[in-house]
Amino acid sequence: MNKESKDVELLLKMCAFKYYVKGNGAKFTLDQYKGKVGILLDEFSEKAMDFGSAQIEEYRHALLSFMECLEGIRGSNKDLAMISLFVVWDRLDNQLYISKQKVARIVENDDYRSTILQGTAKRENIETRLGSVYEQLSKDD
């Protein structure tokens, strides 16, 4: 898979998780998840075909705004971090700037790290990872 295809897939994942993740505060649930990200992406792609212009603009605006507020992500598992940060950031009342240092603190947090050691696509790990990101993002620096 080339770089452009990987970037498009990452954006698709970000949008799909935005669509399927429910909850507020540190409690997140992943609706209609059958244990495989590929199936989730296929189902979201089908649903997105019926999105109207307002809903498309909502997703476009969310992605662009997030990218403007993110300084950068490096290292292994950066796609997982990007998806988790986007989903949580999008739900925050105060959509803050996310520095490289803040990203490093989030991905080095024990709760977050425990979700990437094995089974990154397991529902429990996804939901725990989102909760961990929320706890770290919602802290004032």
| Tens digit of each residue's pLDDT (9 = 90 or more) over 49-66 | 999 999 999 999 999 999
- Mean pLDDT by groups of 10 residues along the chain of 141 residues: 87 97 90 92 97 97 96 86 96 90 93 88 94 89 54
Rounded distance between C-alpha atoms, residue 40 and residue 44, angstroms: 6
How many Å from the N-terminal Cα to the C-terminal Cα in the chain?
39
Whole-structure pTM value: 0.93
pLDDT at residue 119 in the model? 78
* Enclosing H/E stretch for 30: strand 27-30
Both tokens of 70, joined, read: 């993110």
How high is the pLDDT of residue 16? 98
C-alpha span between 64 and 132 (Å, rounded): 23
**Amino acid symbol at 52:** G
* Cβ neighbours for 62, distance < 8 A, ≥ 6 positions apart: 18, 86, 90
Q: What is the pLDDT of residue 73?
A: 85
Task: Answer whether 63's CB lies under 8 Å from 14's CB.
Answer: yes
What is the pLDDT at residue 140? 64
